[in-house]
Amino acid sequence: MIKKNRRHTFRAHLTEFVLPPIDDGLVLGRFSPIGHVAVGKALSLLTTTQFEHVPVEDDVIGDVLVRSAILRKISAEQLRRFVLEEIKPLMGPEEIIHLDLEVEIEIDQESK
């Protein structure tokens, strides 16, 4: 009888699951495996953070879900333009892209 030696090695990389699982938003490709309604429902169950739907009519990008707080700083149209100009060239219609946005506003006020 032949005796076999077996050795098992397990390696794991663990990170904390944070809620919400989305920072500032998602860009959903036109043919992404999940739509904005389903993602919106999931987010409403996972977090109290409010997200808004920004529809995009395009051959690559279908929708954008973004934190409501972002849309208090920039308009939906500004976001739509940014996504189409900067993100669209980097993605395919089946992809979903995470957005981590930094919106900086400068205000100069002079008193008379």
Which three-class secondary structure state does DSSP give residue 11?
Answer: coil
pLDDT of residue 38: 94
Local structure of 64: helix, strand or coil: strand
Single pTM value for the model: 0.78
Of 39, 98, 30, 25, nearest to 67 by C-alpha is: 25
Percent pLDDT > 90 in the chain is: 62
Instruction: Tell me the C-alpha distance between 70 and 110, whole Å.
Output: 26
8 Å CB contact between 66 and 51: yes
User: For residue range 48-93, what is the model confidence (pLDDT) as tens digits?
Assistant: 889 999 999 999 999 999 999 999 999 999 999 999 999 999 999 9
Report residue 58 CA to chain centroid gap: 18
pLDDT at 19: 66
Percent of all residues in the chain with a pLDDT value above 70, rounded to a whole number: 97
What is the 3-state composition of the chain as percent helix, strand, coil, each rounded to the nearest 5?
A: 25, 20, 55
Q: Which residue has the higher pLDDT, 12 or 1?
A: 12
